[in-house]
Amino acid sequence: MPNPDWEIPLNLQPDPDDYAFDLERVVQSVVGLRANVPTDAFTANALGTERTGSGVVIRTDGLVLTIGYLITEAESVWLISNDGRAVPGHALAYDQTTGFGLVQALGRLNLPSVELGDSDMAKIGDGAILAAGGGREHAIEAKVVGRQEFSGYWEYLLDEAIYTAPAHPFWSGAALLGANGKLLGVGSLILQQGDGKGRRADMNMIVPIGLLPPILDDLLTLGRINEPPRPWLGVYVMEGEGGLIVGGLADGGPAERAGLRAGDRITGFGDDEISDLGTLWRRLWASGAAGSAVRLRLSRDGSDMALRVTTADRAKFLRSPRLH
């Protein structure tokens, strides 16, 4: 959750007079979020045990949309309104495919909900607002600067993410609002990109809201999408000039058990050569449901080799949410 004593510079904050909708009312829908995770949780080392960010109220009954890594394996969740009220919440669902997370408030938030917009209509150059919990002082005027694929090293892929700039310093779970005040997406990452002149440009990667409606009913009723779980390797892969390099392995995960090592270069999947993350993840997910066996071709210490990896369901390594 953003530090309440810190503010976005005034010249970067949205001006209510510039918008036809009630800006102050809409940003009330964005709340701070604080989650606590047990020290022995599977994701504790990678994501920490105290996670803070934002969420946005999408239903008047207190349903809050956030980014899923904030609430994965959370033992307790608190939602904090802009006036400082704290309400406990229940981590209802985390969708590993989109990255969305849902929290149900366990008390009255008494906050307006924000209307879902059409993220497919967001075009490069469009103005937008990226708002974290804490009111207009924690919101930044931004522009859509990209619509393209995003491949994450943690076995994650979006066909067309939204990229905005300037970057918001408290991006996790922040609400991307269109010029009409409707929700276009949820903040996931901050990225750095060089401009070719030695200067760095920062931007935020946003998960488009259009991915939510097709899966929302499943998440509310089942806590997951109603599909066979995707195969998971438990490997962190970096894409660079040297190809696809294994940067790390999930403890006890399928890849570690099969003998994959940090520093290995992945050169192929089955009989296919692989040179980019997007292709690797798509080939993995097309190989069958979790539990299927796959063959990775590797280069290790100058020698070529192949490893057979029996994939797993990532969710089975995670603690299930507990309702208090």
Q: Which of 196, 222, 248 is the last residue of a domain?
A: 222
**What is the full DSSP assignment across 13-64?**
SPPGGG-SS-HHHHHHTEEEEEEE--TTSTTHHHH-SEEEEEEEEEETTTEE
Same domain, 140 and 178: yes
Give me Rg for the CA atoms of the chain.
20
pLDDT tens, 70-82? Answer: 999 999 999 999 9
**What 3-state DSSP class applies to 113?**
coil
Higher pLDDT, 201 or 245: 245
- Average pLDDT across the chain, whole number: 94
Same domain, 207 and 258: no
pLDDT tens, 89-115? Answer: 999 999 999 999 999 999 999 999 999
Same domain, 124 and 93: no
Q: 5 in a domain, yes or no?
A: no
Judge whether residue 162 has pLDDT over 90. Answer: yes
- Domain range for 284: 235-317
pLDDT tens, 185-203? Answer: 999 999 987 666 666 789 9
Name the pTM for this structure: 0.94
Number of domains making up the chain: 3
Q: 1 in a domain, yes or no?
A: no
- The CATH code of the domain that includes 146 is 2.40.10.10
pLDDT of residue 2: 47
Same domain, 26 and 84: yes
What gap in Å lies between CA 202 and CA 194, rounded to an integer? 9
Judge whether residue 317 has pLDDT over 70. Answer: yes
Is residue 320 very low, low, confident or very high in pLDDT (cuts 50, 70, 90)? confident
What gap in Å lies between CA 252 and CA 59, rounded to an integer? 39
